[in-house]
């Protein structure tokens, strides 16, 4: 009952709050005011129920938060640590991925390719944000560097996809190091803003430097990837890029997984948790951070090249802050630092809006809201990263503590 009254108060407050924006709509040309009172009613009712849920979950989180979180982690952990289940899972996913293009049309294949690209981008950003704990809001800049490297080299010199792929990745890495070197001394939130600024600089330069990048009109007729100069029809090319992305994704998952458990991966985790303790243990701060930054940028660069080859047309409008925000929400929703989390996150973020076309205009609204809700209720993401535990075995085979 107390809940109800409180929620009612909240609903009234929100009805007041949203009144000018949601209810009144002014047509300034014809000087007519449109009053949309029905919206106020929906708002009130909606907020009432949302508030009830919010309170309920907040209370539940406080009550059993620790315990249930531990249980949930255990479920992921069992799957991840049981090689039998894991192997079956991986094989079945791969089989589905391989059959997929032959049972659906090219529209579906395209969507799936995009989803796979976001998985790889998400995993790349995951190195920076999830593992090393550096909030990078200008990730899309490196993506743009990759895409423009391919587009320009292809346009001016006719270089093919396969030649530019490593060049694009290298260019992005260089940009990552160039940016990373001076700014990585900064604390987390400053870093976020600088990377955001850097992303905007890259986009603005691409937009305004007409002689170099052809400005807002972009570059068209970029070559699709080929194998040995073999000419492909549009459908074949779509399928080819799809399989290319499958290979990329598998490689990235494998790579990031190995990376996580390597020396540098553990150094990232340690650095994320406690910088000072980490430095005291002899892990070079700048070098380790720079490595994360550069590696993240490399993946973005690779995907940039693929993106340019896939769409055959790029312009600066594809590389706005919104794109960075989408990739970031893939990582955040899925679970920072968790590979299956990022994969699920990307699939949800990209496939759901595609199949729920009717609601697609609400996409960013929902993403923004979801980021807030996620941080409040489940900061570890949908599938949380589990901690690898090392146990000590003494010489006579008994477990030590």
Dist. CA 379–CA 162, nearest whole Å: 40
Nearer of residues 159 and 186 to other proteins, judged by Cβ: 186
Residues 217-276 that bind other proteins (CB under 8 A): 276
Among 115, 147, 151, 194, binds other proteins (CB under 8 A): 194
Note whether 346 binds other proteins by CB under 8 A: no
Dist. CA 135–CA 126, nearest whole Å: 10
Nearer of residues 92 and 286 to other proteins, judged by Cβ: 286
Note whether 382 binds other proteins by CB under 8 A: no
Question: Among 297, 294, 213, 302, which residue's Cα sits nearest to residue 249?
Answer: 302
Among 49, 251, 254, 362, binds other proteins (CB under 8 A): 362
Dist. CA 127–CA 382, nearest whole Å: 18
Note whether 204 binds other proteins by CB under 8 A: yes
Note whether 136 binds other proteins by CB under 8 A: no
Among 193, 264, 270, 347, binds other proteins (CB under 8 A): 193
Torsion-angle region of 47 (φ positive above 0: left; ψ -120 to 50: alpha; else: beta): alpha
Which tokens sit at 305?
């090249």
Dist. CA 287–CA 304, nearest whole Å: 25
Note whether 201 binds other proteins by CB under 8 A: yes
Note whether 8 binds other proteins by CB under 8 A: no
Spatial neighbors of 288 by CB under 8 A, at least 6 apart, are 132, 264, 267, 268, 271
Note whether 46 binds other proteins by CB under 8 A: no
Residues 309-328 that bind other proteins (CB under 8 A): 321, 325, 328
Among 192, 237, 306, 342, binds other proteins (CB under 8 A): 192
Q: Do 120 and 256 touch, CB atoms closer than 8 A?
A: no
Quote the least distance from Cβ 266 to other proteins, whole Å: 19
Quote the least distance from Cβ 277 to other proteins, whole Å: 8
Among 6, 9, 25, 258, binds other proteins (CB under 8 A): 25
Q: Give pairs for 16-22: CB < 8 Å, separation 24+.
A: 18/43
Dist. CA 270–CA 289, nearest whole Å: 11
Q: Do 82 and 211 touch, CB atoms closer than 8 A?
A: no
Nearer of residues 22 and 86 to other proteins, judged by Cβ: 22
Quote the least distance from Cβ 375 to other proteins, whole Å: 4
Quote the least distance from Cβ 270 to other proteins, whole Å: 15
Name the strand (E) or helix (H) holding 95. Answer: helix 83-103
Which tokens sit at 213?
């990048």
Stretch of residues binding other proteins (CB under 8 A), selected from 69-77, 132-140, 147-155, 237-245: 132-140
Among 16, 42, 251, 359, binds other proteins (CB under 8 A): 16
CA distances from 9 to 5, 255, 297, 376 (A): 6, 52, 48, 21
Among 109, 137, 144, 295, binds other proteins (CB under 8 A): 137
Among 158, 182, 229, 397, binds other proteins (CB under 8 A): 182
Quote the least distance from Cβ 356 to other proteins, whole Å: 15
Q: Do 134 and 191 touch, CB atoms closer than 8 A?
A: yes
Among 205, 220, 317, 356, binds other proteins (CB under 8 A): 205
Question: Among 131, 170, 148, which residue's Cα sits nearest to residue 316?
Answer: 148
In the beta sheet, which residues pair with residue 34?
Answer: 25
Torsion-angle region of 218 (φ positive above 0: left; ψ -120 to 50: alpha; else: beta): left
Give the residues lining the site for other proteins (CB under 8 A): 13-14, 16-18, 20-22, 24-26, 28, 31-33, 39, 58, 129, 133, 135, 137, 182-183, 185-190, 192-194, 196-198, 200-201, 204-205, 208, 276, 321, 325, 328-329, 332, 336, 361-362, 364-365, 367-372, 374-376, 379
């Amino acid at each position: 009952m107390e809940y109800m009254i409180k929620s009612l108060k909240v609903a009234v407050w929100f009805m007041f709050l949203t009144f000018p924006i949601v209810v009144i709509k002014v047509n300034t040309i014809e000087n007519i005011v449109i009053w949309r009172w029905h919206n106020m009613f929906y708002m009130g009712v909606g907020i009432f129920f949302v508030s009830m849920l919010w309170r309920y979950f907040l209370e539940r989180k406080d009550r059993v938060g620790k315990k249930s979180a531990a249980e949930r982690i255990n479920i992921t952990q069992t799957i991840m640590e049981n090689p039998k289940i894991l192997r079956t899972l991986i094989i079945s996913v791969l089989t589905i991925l391989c059959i997929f293009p032959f049972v659906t049309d090219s529209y579906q294949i395209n969507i799936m390719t995009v989803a796979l690209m976001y998985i790889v981008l998400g995993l790349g950003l995951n190195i920076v944000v999830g593992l090393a704990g550096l909030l990078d809001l200008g990730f899309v800049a490196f993506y743009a560097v990759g895409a423009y490297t391919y587009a320009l080299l292809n346009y001016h010199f006719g270089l093919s996809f396969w030649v530019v792929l490593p060049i694009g990745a290298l260019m992005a890495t260089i940009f990552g190091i160039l940016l990373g070197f001076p700014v990585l001394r900064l604390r987390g939130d400053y870093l976020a803003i600088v990377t955001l600024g850097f992303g905007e600089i890259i986009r603005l330069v691409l937009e305004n430097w007409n002689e170099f990048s052809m400005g807002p009109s972009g570059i068209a007729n970029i070559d699709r990837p080929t194998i040995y100069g073999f000419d492909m029809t549009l459908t074949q090319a779509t399928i080819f890029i799809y399989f290319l992305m499958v290979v990329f994704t598998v490689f990235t998952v494998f790579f990031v997984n190995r990376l996580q458990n390597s020396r540098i991966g553990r150094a990232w985790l340690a650095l994320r948790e406690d910088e000072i303790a980490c430095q005291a243990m002899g892990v070079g701060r700048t070098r380790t951070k720079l490595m994360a930054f550069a590696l993240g940028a490399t993946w973005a660069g690779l995907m940039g090249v693929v993106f340019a080859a896939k769409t055959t047309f790029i312009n600066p409008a594809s590389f706005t802050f919104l794109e960075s925000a989408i990739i970031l929400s893939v990582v955040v929703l899925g679970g920072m630092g968790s590979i299956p989390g990022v994969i699920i996150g990307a699939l949800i973020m990209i496939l759901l809006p595609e199949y729920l076309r009717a609601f697609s205009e609400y996409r960013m609204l929902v993403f923004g809201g979801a980021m807030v809700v996620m941080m409040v209720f489940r900061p570890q993401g949908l599938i949380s990263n589990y901690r690898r535990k090392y146990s000590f075995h003494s010489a006579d085979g008994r477990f030590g503590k």
